[in-house]
């Protein structure tokens, strides 16, 4: 049994499909003279098949998801056509008698060494694209690595170093029951994809790709991060039972899709979804969210090599709102910086403390042309819809002056659009509360905004001075830490007293223990990963606001995070024993 980080709840048993096997165990065979021509042909065939696969994927994603999301596959095709890329592989096959697989492995090694010299996130992403293309060609060199070859019997558990963008998209096509990755944390790409599809997943399992072979039986326990390789029949039997419970629970929860989220004392809650693109919007509808509480626009920029123009942004936002539940969408302006960077906006990676540096609106303010364009595109998209409400939200707000400046930029956007003859609708303007300074001075800010949304992922890391992505300080970066609860309670009460709508859109909103405490604090709007909506709706229907308030009163007396966690784990087990299968440590 091995233990990693639980990143998506549930239990699955299946057959391992190891995606990066080829790179972990490179082929050392030297070709005979007589084999070289055939090997070159093998490579060309694999390259052709990879190209055809990418073209098909591009068309499919374009039709089903959108033009922007499909663009990445056009980039991959151009890498595939790159002469330098292919010439190197051909030369190594001919001159050094390497197999195609070994040559591709060496090519990846070369690119990795070159790219290692840069800390530019954009370039690092391009390395991921090259890796993706290499893996794609390799999958056609070996039948066992080609998911389309049906090499796997029965339910598939994907085992990978990390999940690449094209693999994440392809997961929608293949019947994947579980995901295990070496790299990654709760906020990584694989984790977000797994959660939005309701697939149990475990990450951070160092060395797992070497331990597991394609065809091994594997158990994924997304509740506690356990993974078992080739377990004995007793363990399999026990897990089969748990797996059935997991499926039954999911089926049962799916029936609450069209129900309102109500507590036992009939208090109505808004359970909304956090999305990054159109397919998440579709998932939000499927999971019964009442709207989108956070649309992160970063993805649109990360997939472009330059600032997308106003029309392109406008069209994307319209498409997202059209696909979202009840056309209720809170669009957040670009939150780049920190761990996510876009080279064309001037990131040079020399900041000593990027999370406390030039990110979010701080960066947007310095690119007024780009910032105004985004605000105009959002206002235009919002004005398109008669039903529902599109809201405009600004991340990382720290001072009152910033809000004033933001409001004046929005006013200017209305003026410019109206002068061009474009009709506009009044768009509610809100701030994300994720900086401790804003939490402390919230009473000075609420008169200036139409709504507040707590970005607890960042707020917790700043309050506890503990990086949200650094496993070494994960014990400090805890949303259930008493100081965090004190701050959240104060902000929620202040907003409620002032009648300013308040939401929590950080990860904690979808976690049962935190959800109950937030409910007790007076929160009625929650925004979470779409997959968590059904279980939180169910949990809400098993608790009253009064009970949640009593639980909160007990918890506020605790002085340590461990006490809060222990008490809340027991409490949730009592209130909702039926949801145990979906809990995560």
**Using an 8 Å Cβ cutoff, are 564 and 485 in contact?**
yes
Nearer to ligand PEP (CB atom), residue 194 or residue 294: 294
Q: Is residue 455 within the footprint of ligand PEP (CB under 6 A)?
A: yes
304 in active site: no
Q: Is residue 488 within the footprint of ligand PEP (CB under 6 A)?
A: no
Among 136, 296, 347, 524, binds ligand PEP (CB under 6 A): 296
Nearer to Mg ion (CB atom), residue 69 or residue 458: 458
Q: Burial letters for 186-208: b for 16+ Cβ neighbours within 10 Å, e otherwise?
A: bebbbbbbbbbbbbbbbbbbeeb
CB atoms within 10 A of CB 174: 14
Nearer to ligand PEP (CB atom), residue 277 or residue 455: 455
Show the site string, 46-85: x = touches ligand PEP by CB under 6 A, - = not: ----------------------------------------
Q: Minimal distance in Å, beta carbon 247 to Mg ion? A: 34
Q: Minimal distance in Å, beta carbon 139 to ligand PEP? A: 32
- Tokens (6 digits) for 120: 């530019």
Q: Say which of 20, 76, 105, 189 is annotated catalytic.
A: 189
The pairing of strands 292-296 and 329-332 is parallel
The pairing of strands 217-221 and 226-229 is antiparallel
Q: Minimal distance in Å, beta carbon 506 to ligand PEP? A: 3
Choose the binding region for ligand PEP from 190-198, 321-329, 409-417, 450-458 (rule: CB under 6 A).
450-458
495 in active site: no
Q: At what angle do helices 36-64 and 67-81 cross, to 10 degrees?
A: 170
- Tokens (6 digits) for 13: 């048993």
Show the site string, 505-524: x = touches ligand PEP by CB under 6 A, - = not: xx------------------
- Tokens (6 digits) for 436: 């401790």
Q: Minimal distance in Å, beta carbon 209 to ligand PEP? A: 28
Nearer to ligand PEP (CB atom), residue 92 or residue 532: 532
CB atoms within 10 A of CB 368: 11
Which of ligand PEP, Mg ion, none is residue 222 near (CB under 5 to 8 Å by kind)? Answer: none
Which of Mg ion, ligand PEP, none is residue 99 near (CB under 5 to 8 Å by kind)? Answer: none
**Using an 8 Å Cβ cutoff, are 461 and 484 in contact?**
no
Hunting for tokens 């033009």 — which residue is that? Answer: 67
Q: Minimal distance in Å, beta carbon 455 to Mg ion? A: 4
Q: Is residue 530 within the footprint of ligand PEP (CB under 6 A)?
A: no
Residues near 341 by beta carbon (within 8 Å), at least 6 away in sequence: 120, 121, 122, 347, 349
Q: Is residue 458 within the footprint of ligand PEP (CB under 6 A)?
A: yes
- Tokens (6 digits) for 451: 């709504």
Choose the binding region for ligand PEP from 59-67, 265-273, 408-416, 455-463 (rule: CB under 6 A).
455-463
Q: Minimal distance in Å, beta carbon 463 to Mg ion? A: 13
Which of ligand PEP, Mg ion, none is residue 21 near (CB under 5 to 8 Å by kind)? Answer: none
Nearer to ligand PEP (CB atom), residue 402 or residue 434: 434
Give which of 200, 250, 172 is closest to 534, Cα–Cα.
Answer: 250
The DSSP result for 408-450, as a single string, is HHHHHHHHHHHHTT-------EEEEE-SHHHHHTHHHHGGG-S
Q: Minimal distance in Å, beta carbon 491 to ligand PEP? A: 13
Choose the binding region for ligand PEP from 56-64, 452-460, 490-498, 558-566 (rule: CB under 6 A).
452-460
Q: Is residue 439 within the footprint of ligand PEP (CB under 6 A)?
A: no
**3-class secondary-structure state, position 186:** coil
CA angle 288, 389, 366 (to 5 degrees): 110
Choose the binding region for ligand PEP from 244-252, 402-410, 451-459, 543-551 (rule: CB under 6 A).
451-459
Q: Is residue 434 within the footprint of ligand PEP (CB under 6 A)?
A: yes
Measured between alpha carbons, how far apart are the two ends of the chain, in Å? Answer: 17
Q: Is residue 529 within the footprint of ligand PEP (CB under 6 A)?
A: no
**Rounded distance, CA 139 to CA 134, Å?**
9
Choose the binding region for ligand PEP from 151-159, 381-389, 453-461, 528-536 (rule: CB under 6 A).
453-461
Instruction: Determine the longest span between alpha carbons in the chain, in angstroms.
Output: 82
Among 121, 243, 280, 335, binds ligand PEP (CB under 6 A): 335
- Tokens (6 digits) for 240: 């089969």
**3-class secondary-structure state, position 227:** strand
- Interface contacts to ligand PEP, rule CB under 6 A: 294, 296, 335, 434, 455-458, 505-506
* Catalytic annotation, residues: 189, 505
């Amino acid at each position: 049994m091995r233990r990693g980080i639980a990143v998506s709840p549930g239990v699955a048993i299946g057959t391992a499909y190891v995606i990066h096997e080829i790179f972990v165990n490179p082929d050392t065979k030297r070709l005979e003279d007589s084999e070289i021509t055939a090997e070159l042909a093998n490579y060309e065939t694999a390259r052709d098949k990879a190209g055809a696969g990418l073209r098909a994927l591009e068309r499919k994603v374009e039709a089903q998801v959108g033009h922007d999301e499909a663009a990445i596959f056009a980039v991959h095709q151009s890498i595939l056509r790159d002469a330098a890329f292919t010439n190197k592989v051909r030369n190594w096959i001919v001159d050094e008698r390497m197999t195609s697989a070994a040559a591709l492995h060496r090519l990846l090694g070369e690119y990795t060494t070159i790219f290692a010299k840069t800390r530019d996130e954009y370039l690092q992403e391009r390395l991921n694209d090259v890796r993706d293309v290499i893996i794609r060609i390799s999958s056609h060199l070996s039948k066992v690595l080609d998911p389309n070859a049906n090499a796997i019997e029965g339910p598939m558990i994907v085992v990978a170093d990390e999940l690449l963008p094209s693999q994440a998209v392809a997961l929608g096509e293949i019947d994947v029951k579980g995901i295990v990755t070496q790299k990654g944390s709760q906020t990584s790409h694989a984790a977000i994809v797994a959660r939005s599809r309701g697939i149990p997943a475990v990450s951070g399992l160092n060395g797992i790709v070497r331990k597991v072979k394609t065809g091994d039986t594997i158990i994924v326990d997304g509740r506690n991060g356990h993974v078992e390789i080739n377990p004995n029949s007793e363990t399999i039997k026990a897990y089969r039972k748990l797996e059935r419970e997991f499926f039954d629970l999911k089926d049962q929860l799916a029936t609450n899709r069209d129900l309102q989220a109500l507590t036992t004392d009939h208090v109505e809650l808004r359970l909304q979804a956090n999305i990054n693109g159109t397919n998440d919007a579709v998932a939000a509808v499927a999971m019964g969210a009442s709207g989108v509480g956070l649309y992160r626009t970063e993805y649109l920029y990360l997939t472009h090599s330059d600032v997308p123009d106003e029309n392109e942004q406008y069209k994307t936002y319209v498409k997202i709102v059209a696909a979202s539940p009840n056309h209720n969408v809170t669009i957040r302006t670009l939150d780049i910086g920190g761990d996510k960077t876009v080279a064309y906006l001037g990131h040079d990676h020399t900041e000593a403390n990027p999370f406390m540096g030039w990110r979010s609106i701080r960066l947007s303010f310095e690119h007024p042309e780009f910032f105004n364009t985004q605000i105009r595109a959002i206002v235009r998209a919002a004005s398109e819809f008669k039903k529902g409400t599109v809201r405009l939200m600004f991340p990382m707000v720290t001072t009152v002056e910033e809000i004033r400046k933001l409001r004046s930029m929005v006013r200017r956007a209305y003026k410019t659009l109206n002068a061009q003859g474009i009709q506009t609708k009044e768009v509610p303007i809100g701030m994300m509360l994720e900086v401790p300074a804003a939490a402390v001075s919230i009473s000075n800010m609420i008169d200036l905004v139409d709504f507040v949304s707590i970005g607890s992922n960042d707020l917790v890391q700043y309050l506890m001075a503990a990086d949200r992505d650094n496993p070494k300080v994960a014990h400090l970066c805890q949303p259930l830490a008493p100081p965090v609860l004190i701050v959240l309670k104060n902000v929620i009460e202040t907003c409620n007293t002032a009648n300013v709508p308040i939401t929590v859109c950080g990860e904690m909103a979808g976690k049962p223990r935190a959800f109950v405490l937030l409910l007790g604090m007076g929160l009625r709007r929650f925004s979470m990963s779409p997959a968590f909506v059904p279980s939180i709706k169910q949990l809400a229907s098993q608790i009253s606001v009064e009970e949640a308030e009593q639980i909160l009163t007990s918890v506020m007396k605790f002085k340590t995070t461990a006490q809060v966690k222990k008490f809340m784990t027991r409490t949730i087990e009592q209130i909702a024993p039926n949801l145990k299968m979906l809990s995560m440590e």
